[in-house]
Amino acid sequence: MYQPEMESMPRDRLDALQLERVQALLARVYEGNPAYRRKFDEAGFDPSSLKSLKDMRRVPFTVKDDLRASYPYGFFSVPLHDIVRVHSSSGTTGQVTVVGYTAGDIDRWSDLMARTFASAGATADDIVQVTYGYGLFTGGLGAHYGSERLGALTVPVSGGNTKRQVQILKDFGVTVLACTPSYALLIAETAREMGIDPRELPVRVGVFGAEPWSESMRHQIEQELNLTAIDIYGLSEVMGPGVASECECQCGLHVFEDHFLVEIVDVDTLEPLPDGETGEVVFTTLTKEGIPVVRYRTRDISRIIPEPCSCGRTMRRIERVTGRSDDMLIIRGVNVYPSQIEQVLVGIENVAPHYQVVLTKRGSMDHVEVHVEVADDFAFDEVRELERLQKRVKAEVESALAVSIAVKLVEPKSIARSEGKAKRVVDLRADEGR
């Protein structure tokens, strides 16, 4: 463990620390941030009335629109003079949000990312290739500072130019790769095209996150690249990567609870759910200065795993995030997460786990078609074989999702690859309406 005194702190002390920190936070944002003062006043919430963590249910939520409404800097809780860096969320929907960090925030973030790398099994002896994008995205610089803080040799490649990524992995003797899971698969594919066996690359640990991925995809990446694939989680509004991370047990992500208070709430009633039940993940930042958030609704779906972990960390785990409440597709009343489709595809021979869910309009009805790439060595012009495969994919996807769905097989490599987050859902409904 990178910070064992914190990571394995007895539970009662951790709870007391959280309460102390949340009380200080509420007082601080009420004093220092007019947006929070207004929010609390409107809800009739007096920050000094919070006496236990159970009282959190009375605190108003923060949502992405709160940050958008005060774009770019209006939600910061300190003067701009004290901010040393900004990042911004990827903004797949609507306006982007800007988040600011004080020097202290950057320092704590670096520690949390060092914790993340250490919990994945990395040490100061490792060579870490950071392939998350550098720039406004939190992935690149977040991983960079954490890797350096750990004392590892850090190779700041950023995203893009996949052949060069492969060459550097090989030539520089890289032992830890940090990128999105879908990009890890593209790296393996590209290595093979270059005549390099991806299993022979020196990488032993992958630190993968920033997008939903499945257990089957983990197995595939581990097989293809001969490494241990660790899931890491975070979001810009809360800090970036370094909010939660798997340990070497690979059985859920420890939330760094000395810095983040986690709650799971019912997606409809927004009432807190007991440990173990699935709902929306809500975070309160306990130590952030630049842009602390109180009960921030992530839209991510997960559950708290109540059992203690065998690694000795006392920080509770959340299950891997399977999707978001807002990119959840509702197909004829059935809730579908794109990652469920991926789970099915990984188990079928002759198709690649590259897919896109394409939404269009047929009259007033939504039409959903899943485009799936066939494997490289599949004879795409063999019409009969293709039909047979299409039927099989359709049947398996339908049985997993419990809804009928159109499937179109497409040629290898015809679905655009992403160097960052994979784009799994293409929504053409609005375009057609114009």
Please give the residue ranges that form the binding site for ligand DLL (CB under 6 A): 89-90, 132, 138-139, 209-212, 231-236, 240-241, 298, 300, 321, 324
Read off the tokens for 64.
């992405």
Q: Smallest gap, in angstroms, from Cβ of residue 159 to ligand DLL?
A: 11
Distance (Å, whole) CA 186 – CA 190: 6
Q: Smallest gap, in angstroms, from Cβ of residue 107 to ligand DLL?
A: 19
**CB closer to ligand DLL out of 22 and 232:** 232
> What strands lie across the sheet with 296-302, from one edge to the other?
260-265, 279-285, 296-302, 323-324
How many CB atoms within 10 Å of residue 434?
4
**CB closer to ligand DLL out of 203 and 393:** 203
Q: Smallest gap, in angstroms, from Cβ of residue 335 to ligand DLL?
A: 16
**CB closer to ligand DLL out of 47 and 353:** 353
**CB closer to ligand DLL out of 233 and 256:** 233
**CB closer to ligand DLL out of 183 and 233:** 233
Of the candidates 296, 177, 159, 179, the one whose C-alpha atom is nearest the C-alpha of residue 238 is: 296
Strands 127-130 and 176-179 come out as: parallel
Distance (Å, whole) CA 67 – CA 408: 39
**CB closer to ligand DLL out of 136 and 400:** 136
Q: Smallest gap, in angstroms, from Cβ of residue 236 to ligand DLL?
A: 4
157 with 181: CB under 8 angstroms? no
Read off the tokens for 261.
């208070």
The residue of the chain with the least Cβ separation from ligand DLL equals 209
Q: Smallest gap, in angstroms, from Cβ of residue 134 to ligand DLL?
A: 12
Q: Which residue shows structure tokens 């929070």?
A: 36
Q: Smallest gap, in angstroms, from Cβ of residue 252 to ligand DLL?
A: 12
Is residue 12 classed as helix, strand or coil in its secondary structure? helix
**CB closer to ligand DLL out of 234 and 279:** 234
In sequence order, which residues have a C-beta less than 8 Å from that of residue 171 and are 6 or more positions away? none
Q: Smallest gap, in angstroms, from Cβ of residue 411 to ligand DLL?
A: 28
Is residue 38 classed as helix, strand or coil in its secondary structure? helix
